[in-house]
Amino acid sequence: MVEPMNWISEVVRPKIKTLFKRETPENLWVKCPDTGQMVFHKEVEANHWVIPGSEHHLKMSAAARLKMMFDEGTWIDVALPEVATDPLKFRDEKRYVDRLKDARAKTGLQDAFKIGFGRVGGLPMTLAAQEFGFMAGSLGMAAGEAFVRGAETALEKRTPYVLFAASGGARMQEGILSLMQMPRTTVAVRRLNAARLPYIVVLTNPTTGGVTASYAMLGDVHLAEPGALICFAGPRVIEQTIREKLPDGFQRAEYLRDHGMVDQVVHRHQLKETIARICGLLMDVRPAAAAPQPAPAPEAA
């Protein structure tokens, strides 16, 4: 027996709900991981992805990094070389080529690096930023080639090379080909050293694995953002291995600064000024001296 349809509840009420339904954007609010504070998304974005009040530094896209650093937010994109896609024909729960396709659609990048050339504080500079949103900023063949191309650009244009590191480590889908990028990037850094060009590393949250074990720890100066996790193996893995409780703040930027692994912890709002000052000192760029003023004419008697 078919039950009679309740006209009021089945027809009228859904129509009324649809009529007065308001569409609310999913990303209208951002929740602070430290305090649970809810902040408007646009307010956090305008503050360079730093939560007002708690000063918690959220992850930042590579494009936003370059826009924040370069004068007037403009730069020239450095073309990155193409590499073989899925050389090992890797597949786990998904095919590697499908993971790459999803990451490219999500970030608009071909891989986990974006490199630009422009001026920072008036100084010509080459900047490289890792995109954590692209497969956790993992280091593969394309990322290794991109880092080397950035170093070559700095060598060609005789500029400092500044890296914003953000990575979960080497990309397992490329196996040994991923691990080979560690010595390749090290050679690129040595070429910068031989040319006496500054190589500045900014360690952001998180910087881990093979990236920490290679180019992220070879800088002339190491800066870090507040609270950034910087390590090779994570705290949980270490605790499970040694079966001991680690100190509070272990492997965080402030802990590493206090123990000599990081030179300075710099708030994101002061990064541009700090990097421009350091590069100016290392490149021996001094402000132009003021032109001498003519002596005043003697007054008539």
| CATH number of the domain encompassing residue 92 | 3.90.226.10
Within 13 Å of residue 298, how many CA atoms lie on the same side as its CB?
2
Q: How many domains does the chain have?
A: 2
pLDDT per position as a tens digit, 143-191: 999 999 999 999 999 999 999 999 999 999 999 999 999 999 999 999 9
Domain span including residue 51: 25-58
**Helix (H) / strand (E) containing 275:** helix 271-282
Would the pLDDT of 284 be above 60?
A: yes
What is the CB neighbour count within 10 angstroms for residue 26?
Answer: 7
Look at residue 298 and tell me if it is in a domain. no
Same domain, 51 and 147: no
Query: Is 290 part of a structural domain of the chain?
Result: no
Residue 4, domain member (yes or no): no
Q: How far is CA 69 from CA 79, 120, 130, 269, 273, in A?
A: 19, 6, 14, 10, 9
Domain end point (choices 58, 83, 109): 58
Q: What is the pLDDT at residue 147?
A: 97
DSSP 34-85: TT--EEEHHHHHHTTTB-TTT--B----HHHHHHHHSGGG--EEPP-----S
Same domain for 40 and 143, yes or no, is no
Residues 207, 232, single domain; the answer is yes
Tell me, yes or no, whether 171 and 29 share the same domain.
Answer: no
- pLDDT value at residue 288: 47
Residue 127 lies in a domain: yes
Does residue 49 sit in the same domain as residue 75?
Answer: no
Same domain (yes/no): 47, 82: no
Q: Please state the rounded mean pLDDT for residues 294-299.
A: 54
* Radius of gyration over every alpha carbon of the chain, rounded to an integer in angstroms: 25
Instruction: List Cβ neighbours of 23 (8 Å cut-off, separation of 6 or more).
Output: none
- Report in angstroms the alpha-carbon separations of 76 from 61, 85, 123, 271: 17, 26, 14, 20
Bigger pLDDT: 131 or 295? 131
Mean pLDDT of 26-45: 88
- Co-location of 240 and 131 in the same domain: yes
Shared domain for 127 and 219, answered yes or no, is: yes
Residues 109 and 47 in one domain: no
In a domain, 17, yes or no: no
pLDDT at 22: 54
Give mean pLDDT, residues 59-67. 96
Q: What is the pLDDT of residues 111-152, one digit of tens each?
A: 999 999 999 999 999 999 999 999 999 999 999 999 999 999
* 108 and 222 part of one domain: yes
- Residue 198 sits in the same domain as residue 85: yes
Q: How confident is the model at residue 291 (pLDDT cuts 50, 70, 90)?
A: very low
33 inside domain: yes
Q: Domain for residue 16, yes or no? A: no
Residue 11 inside a domain? The answer is no
Above pLDDT 70, what percent of the chain? 86
pLDDT of residue 7: 58
Confidence of residue 12 (pLDDT cuts 50, 70, 90): low
Q: Within this chain, do residues 33 and 82 fall inside the same structural domain, yes or no?
A: no
